[in-house]
Structure 1
Amino acid sequence: MTAQTLLVELFVEELPPKALKKLGEVFAATLAESLKSQGLASAESTVTPYASPRRLAVQVRGVAAKAADRSVQQKLMPVAVALTAEGQPTPALLKKLAALGADASALPQLKRAMDGKAEALFLDSTVAGATLAEGLQKALDETLAKLPIPKVMTYQLADGWTDVKFVRPAHRLVALHGSEVVPVAALGLAAGRTTLGHRFEAATPEVAITDADGYASQLAEQGAVIASFAERRAEIQRQLAAAAKAQGGTPIDDEALLDEVTALVERPNVLACRFEPEFLDVPQECLILTMKANQKYFPLLDEAGKLTNQFLVVSNIRPADASAVVGGNERVVRPRLADAKFFFDQDRKRSLESRVPALAKVVYHGKLGSQGERVERVMAIARAVAQQLGGGESLARQADRAALLAKADLLTDMVGEFPELQGIMGGYYARHDGEPEAVAFAVEDHYKPRFAGDELPRNEVGVVVALADKLETLAGLFGIGQQPTGDKDPFALRRHALGVIRMLVERRLQVSLPAMVNAAFAAFPASHGQAHAEVLNFLFDRLVGYLRELGYSAKEVDAVVALRPDIWAELPQRLAAVRAFAALPEAESLAAANKRVGNILKKVEGALSTEVRESLLGEAAERALFEVLGSIQPRSDALFDSRDYTASLCALAAMKAPVDAFFDDVMVNAEDPALRANRLALLGRLHAAMNRVADLSRLAS
């Protein structure tokens, strides 16, 4: 029979919007993959997922009514077990054949073949391909078991006795192969061809799907539903852009909100609404958050990125007169904005500083004390970091002040209502209290970067406090054994580590990482676990991933990080130097020689002499290497000291020939102890000269 399109739709009550996109993707992919594995669909079969608030569906093109029969060879048992010494079948063999639906008449068809070290009997047979009804039933069962359901519901079927567990109660199942219903069942439902459209705007109460190919168009025409999540999302984006342009604004860019709204509507209709301009006196972050989080609205921004008093609503209905819908949404948002204004006005009646003592009553962690104790630790670390940066008394004083106030907004009404605004509100309240702008920015920015790609703190005070805050978290939690394990990172320590890395590298901070880690642990009581090495290793591990994401190769990163540099400000220059060196024709030979030198020096017992006695350089090759090293090393070191790392490394290229000649002509481990020590000292100097920028041996093939 010619392959046709298969449609499967599960019609349910409203699905959780934040999970809908993933549920739709997994439903389609898993079901299609099962059909392909059973031979009912091919690798070329196109799969189209559908997901709306009340349905999960998939359309698979090129599905056969029956899978092709296939030949299989089945191992029965070792010959020694299957046949007697006379070659007759044993009872064990006959029993095995019977279990497979065969008898002694199949003996002539059995084949002998080696299976490991023993000879075994094999039976060739033909397995009938699965029918679509069989295969689809199996695929449905597998798919429903594998859905990433955030929270399972238990409900009863119409008989009042049978319990079903699923994400939401299911009411209809559609399964069509072309225009024919496939007799399958799931969740207590037998497959048919009827589904429901839009709750209010469908042309007919039920939509009887004529054939699988016309599912989306028929549902759109008769059911007033855009079944495809992707198409519905694109339609919402198009309408948002058009409505915003008509209002002279730009909708807030929020992919997660767009996904959630797409999962809430079946027939999107974007409408423009307004609120009273006086609410704009409240910080726009508060208004934007309350509109997005509570109402799922899209606030409109002006050309400067400032919030306007307009917002867009994605309605699920398209009435001829939308004024009632607009008016209703404007009435609903007003109390939300009024609450935000009330919180803002109330919070400003008390200064941030007046709230600091109360942090002593807020638990931070059972083993790490209160937020008040944490603030004291962050202040101590911030002072130490400011001193290491050489910012003088002004930087230390401002960093100390910002660290004192940084957590005070946790006790404000606004942050109590919207925890996402911590730090942001602290900045607003600090300005209201008359704090210097540098301190206000630091209070606002000390959580940054909050996520991958987030901006860094805007000023030096903010960087100092952000570093102190993240180092305190790392030292605190590592000290009590709460480091991440596997994919579990409940305290987001990987994110904190990445924040430290980004600030050190991208802001080119001339500060020692070990010194900062020491300062972080010094802020804790002596009884606190001293996990300096663990924190440093954790940061270096995250550094490798960060540098790889910047586009550097594994060898380039390995070469630079292997030296475990204390200061990370110049890592990009070192990596650029390694890349330039690796492109030189001499690089491969020098890297291999450097690796060889390192292996030789590792085997040296006792202290390695640093003095090369010229009088003991008897071989021409070792004299040549000594002379070239004496010429090149000072120049390379001077370039290194001036931080011209590329030129410093490239200067080493001239040593290729004398290094190659040395290893060709000179026996390092000479019998004469003095000669051997002198040659090892020469190699020690060579190794030191070559590995100041990076460990070049890591570039060797």
Structure 2
Amino acid sequence: MTNLLVELQTEELPPKALDTLSKAFGNEIAKSLAAQHLTEAGSVATCYGTPRRLAVHITNVLDHSADEPFSKKLMPKAIGLDAEGKPAAPLLKKLQALGLGADAKLVTKTEGGKDFLYVEDTKPGIPLAEGLQAAIEDSAKKLPIPRVMSYQLPDGETTVEFVRPVRYLTALYGEDVVPVTFLGLKAGRVTRGHRFMSAGEMTIDSADSYAEQLKNACVMVSYADRRALICKLLNDKAAELGGTAIMPEALLDEVTALTEWPVVYASEFEKEYLSVPEECLILTMQLNQKYFPLRDASGRLMNKFLLVSQLVAADGGKEISAGNARVVRARLADAKFFYETDQKETLESRVPGLKNVVYHAKLGSQFERTDRVRAMAGLIAIGLHASPEDAARAAYLAKADLRTLMVGEFPELQGIMGQYYAQHDGEKADVALAIREHYQPRFAGDALPSTPVSLSLAIADKLETLTGLFGIGQMPTGEKDPYALRRHAISILRMVIEKNLPLKLSDLLELGFEIERHVEGVKDARKELRDFFFDRLRVMFKDQGYTAQEIDAVLSLNPDQLNEIPARLAAVRSFEKLPESEALAAANKRISNILKKIEGEVPTKIDPSLFESDAEKALSSAIDQVEPAALADFEAGHYEEMLSRLSTLKTPVDEFFDKVMVNADDPALRANRQALLARLHHLMNQVAELAKIAQ
């Protein structure tokens, strides 16, 4: 068996999409070839991607697929053959659609007492060239291209579309060229190496020599290998300088996609710029220049940074380092100017300017929104035993940094710069920190606000967004969520649950809509928003490994104290492990069905004198024994202990249903038994609706 190589040598591909594009290109070709039976078992596809090429190496490829016998049901024999037993028009039409003629081999099979015609034939195999042509075209159609580019072929007439113009097409089966075409190019064995360190065109000898030949031409075709090398080079160079490189994953990915032959150089800037907040310096270096800042052993930002080039400089990189130092100096000088200029005005003086910042056409300006958030934050702070004055002050200043030069240049720094400027203005530490932390959590897994004041403001900020937008009917639809309302809801849930905050969902919704109702056109959408929160809870806890039944059992009781939900879920899971749980859950489901069928109010008064059987007495006595301690456990939040106590009820419950007719003819007996079951049902469903976990 022989290996296959396919390469598209292109102009510079979009770096943020490169890894995804290369994997999609290669895997789709391999998948298509496998579907056409042109690869053997154990075939492996290795995807390659550099700034100027997409490629794939596939092992165990066949030069021709095997012939395949096939059998296909056509139609009832009575319809397919005429009176003389010859193919009728419907059968001929069907055979023609299958690419077969009237001479196709037909067999009759009896199914359910009726005769049906089947065609049995052999489907001839296809050559690799035919299969690869289809595979390349199919892969191109399925590429997740962020933006298609139209360009003209050398003939001056034909216009084609691809992610970037393709200059060379290489397709090698072992040492042989596979005669396929793509975007006006005929496959060959010619490609190009490194743009600057390799001389023009080069010839690939075979599919298996591709990676090594490109390496000799200063091109590392493996994205993963380049990324690993960049990490090593950065760490080694940082260690030489006595520091540690700041290497965010996204920046590593982007730099990997920008280089074919990574080389790391060091550069530096003047120490005076270290007076600017480090977040500004780091963001400037990473976002604008793709540099990697360094921290010293104490964690302080150094005035040195690393850059990834793809040139091995004859002077050891001195000129490259000096050039990048000049570039970063200009950027940092801008940041320093923004920072120093911003400090000439207080945050408080900037707040009135928020009247000129539109929040939403139907919800007013950022200044009007600030008033609503301030009112909510102060009241939430009371529930969290935080200073309502500090929470309200932080809310008043929270968006003021939107009017600063630094945040205007770097929107990513909003909140962060607010803290620095608040500290400069002499605001309280908790107020300044809350301005920074009120955006948290910004993404899944992000840290939560750390203080009660910060939590008060963060919850208020997100609650105002939710109640306001739900109030004007701007709920998420399908996959569309332009205002990130799902993230806002999950953020509030995370804060309340993970920080164990004593906040009720109903109180938050009432607070939000009470304040929001003063905005013209805002309606009370408490029910819709509550349902939205519960949908997010289901997603959260499903991601944590709980089953839909366990989650439904807890949430069907509409728990208002959100921070209790994890303990309830854990208790349900613990209860399921008890040998008695299955029977009790089934009994609970049966009781629920009985009580649902009662017309009017469910009886609640139990008269022991009406008990006719020992089973009724035994169940009532068992409930009397379990109920006080169980309810005490529930009130104390000891949910596992409460559900565990219910296990003693299994035997009396089973005997009750075996020996007692609940719906007795006598109305008094029937009502008494229903009341007994209602009491049991109430006791069993304090933590969760156990019927939901019944099999």
TM bucket normalised to smaller: over 0.9
1:330 matched to 2:325? The reply is: yes
Corresponding residue for 1:121?
117
Give the letter for the 1:19 counterpart: A
Say if 1:384 and 1:516, in contact at 8 Å, map to a contact too.
no
Equivalent residue for 2:381, pick from 377, 380, 386? 386
Equivalent residue for 2:515, pick from 508, 523, 534? 523
Equivalent residue for 1:39, pick from 37, 40, 44? 37
Say if 1:640 and 1:693, in contact at 8 Å, map to a contact too.
yes
Quote how far apart the aligned CAs of 1:599 are.
1.3
**Structure-1 separation of matches of 2:334 and 2:114:** 81
Corresponding residue for 1:259?
253
1:307 matched to 2:305? The reply is: no
Summarize the Cα distance change of 1:364–1:101 in structure 2 as closer, same or farther, 3 Å threshold.
closer
Corresponding residue for 1:148?
144
For residues 132-281 of structure 1, the aligned pairs below 5 Å read: 132-202=128-198, 204-221=199-216, 223-281=217-275
**Structure-2 separation of matches of 1:385 and 1:416:** 31
Give the letter for the 1:338 counterpart: A
Give the letter for the 2:190 counterpart: T
Equivalent residue for 2:673, pick from 663, 674, 679? 679
1:359 matched to 2:357? The reply is: no
Equivalent residue for 2:499, pick from 496, 507, 525? 507
Quote how far apart the aligned CAs of 1:242 are.
0.9
Give the letter for the 2:412 counterpart: E
**Structure-1 separation of matches of 2:307 and 2:587:** 68
**Structure-2 separation of matches of 1:99 and 1:623:** 77
**Structure-2 separation of matches of 1:92 and 1:547:** 57
1:9 matched to 2:13? The reply is: no
- More off after superposition, 230-239 vs 475-484: 475-484
For residues 187-586 of structure 1, the aligned pairs below 5 Å read: 187-202=183-198, 204-221=199-216, 223-321=217-315, 322-389=317-384, 391=385, 395-525=387-517, 527-586=521-580
Identity percentage of aligned residues:
54
**Structure-1 separation of matches of 2:643 and 2:192:** 71
Give the letter for the 1:33 counterpart: K
**Structure-2 separation of matches of 1:425 and 1:612:** 66
**Structure-2 separation of matches of 1:112 and 1:63:** 38
Summarize the Cα distance change of 1:101–1:667 in structure 2 as closer, same or farther, 3 Å threshold.
closer
Quote how far apart the aligned CAs of 1:663 are.
0.9
Give the letter for the 2:509 counterpart: V
Summarize the Cα distance change of 1:66–1:435 in structure 2 as closer, same or farther, 3 Å threshold.
same
Summarize the Cα distance change of 1:430–1:95 in structure 2 as closer, same or farther, 3 Å threshold.
closer
Summarize the Cα distance change of 1:636–1:105 in structure 2 as closer, same or farther, 3 Å threshold.
closer
Summarize the Cα distance change of 1:271–1:95 in structure 2 as closer, same or farther, 3 Å threshold.
closer
Quote how far apart the aligned CAs of 1:99 are.
6.8
**Structure-2 separation of matches of 1:590 and 1:679:** 18
Unpaired runs of 5+ in structure 2? none
Say if 2:517 and 2:523, in contact at 8 Å, map to a contact too.
no
Residues 68-122 of structure 1, C-alpha deviation per residue, up to 9 Å, x if partnerless? 111122444432232223433335545655676765555xx31123578964322
For residue 209 of structure 2, give the secondary structure of its aligned residue in structure 1: helix
**Structure-1 separation of matches of 2:471 and 2:676:** 44
Say if 2:57 and 2:207, in contact at 8 Å, map to a contact too.
yes
**Structure-2 separation of matches of 1:602 and 1:98:** 62
Give the letter for the 1:450 counterpart: R
For residue 175 of structure 1, give the secondary structure of its aligned residue in structure 2: strand
- More off after superposition, 524-533 vs 10-19: 524-533
Residues 425-461 of structure 1, C-alpha deviation per residue, up to 9 Å, x if partnerless? 1111111111101111111000100000000001001
Give the letter for the 1:213 counterpart: D
For residue 83 of structure 2, give the secondary structure of its aligned residue in structure 1: coil
For residue 585 of structure 1, give the secondary structure of its aligned residue in structure 2: coil
- More off after superposition, 521-530 vs 308-317: 521-530
Equivalent residue for 1:632, pick from 615, 618, 626? 626
**Structure-2 separation of matches of 1:88 and 1:100:** 18
1:18 matched to 2:16? The reply is: yes
For residue 569 of structure 1, give the secondary structure of its aligned residue in structure 2: helix
Give the letter for the 2:21 counterpart: L
Summarize the Cα distance change of 1:602–1:96 in structure 2 as closer, same or farther, 3 Å threshold.
closer
**Structure-1 separation of matches of 2:19 and 2:405:** 34
Give the letter for the 1:8 counterpart: V
Say if 2:351 and 2:396, in contact at 8 Å, map to a contact too.
yes
**Structure-1 separation of matches of 2:631 and 2:624:** 11
**Structure-1 separation of matches of 2:655 and 2:354:** 70
For residue 516 of structure 2, give the secondary structure of its aligned residue in structure 1: coil
1:667 matched to 2:661? The reply is: yes
**Structure-2 separation of matches of 1:206 and 1:158:** 18
For residue 263 of structure 1, give the secondary structure of its aligned residue in structure 2: helix
- More off after superposition, 545-554 vs 659-668: 545-554
**Structure-2 separation of matches of 1:105 and 1:264:** 60
Summarize the Cα distance change of 1:178–1:604 in structure 2 as closer, same or farther, 3 Å threshold.
same
Say if 2:467 and 2:513, in contact at 8 Å, map to a contact too.
yes
**Structure-2 separation of matches of 1:69 and 1:59:** 25
**Structure-2 separation of matches of 1:615 and 1:102:** 86
**Structure-2 separation of matches of 1:535 and 1:346:** 43
1:62 matched to 2:54? The reply is: no
- More off after superposition, 86-95 vs 629-638: 86-95
For residue 423 of structure 2, give the secondary structure of its aligned residue in structure 1: helix
- More off after superposition, 636-645 vs 5-14: 636-645
Say if 2:381 and 2:452, in contact at 8 Å, map to a contact too.
no
Say if 2:416 and 2:436, in contact at 8 Å, map to a contact too.
yes
**Structure-2 separation of matches of 1:105 and 1:42:** 33
For residue 393 of structure 2, give the secondary structure of its aligned residue in structure 1: helix
Summarize the Cα distance change of 1:357–1:116 in structure 2 as closer, same or farther, 3 Å threshold.
farther
Say if 2:616 and 2:656, in contact at 8 Å, map to a contact too.
yes
TM-score normalised over the length of structure 1: 0.96
- More off after superposition, 298-307 vs 586-595: 298-307
Alignment size in residue pairs: 692
Corresponding residue for 1:71?
69
Residues 141-174 of structure 1, C-alpha deviation per residue, up to 9 Å, x if partnerless? 1111111111111111111111111111111000
Say if 1:36 and 1:43, in contact at 8 Å, map to a contact too.
no
Quote how far apart the aligned CAs of 1:659 are.
1.0
Summarize the Cα distance change of 1:102–1:421 in structure 2 as closer, same or farther, 3 Å threshold.
closer
Residues 488-511 of structure 1, C-alpha deviation per residue, up to 9 Å, x if partnerless? 211111111110110010010111
Give the letter for the 2:334 counterpart: D
For residue 66 of structure 1, give the secondary structure of its aligned residue in structure 2: coil
Summarize the Cα distance change of 1:438–1:99 in structure 2 as closer, same or farther, 3 Å threshold.
closer
**Structure-2 separation of matches of 1:383 and 1:324:** 57
Unpaired runs of 5+ in structure 1? none
When the two chains are superposed, the root-mean-square deviation of aligned CA atoms in Å is 1.7
- More off after superposition, 496-505 vs 159-168: 159-168
Corresponding residue for 2:694?
700
**Structure-1 separation of matches of 2:167 and 2:288:** 30
- More off after superposition, 485-494 vs 296-305: 296-305
- More off after superposition, 440-449 vs 591-600: 591-600
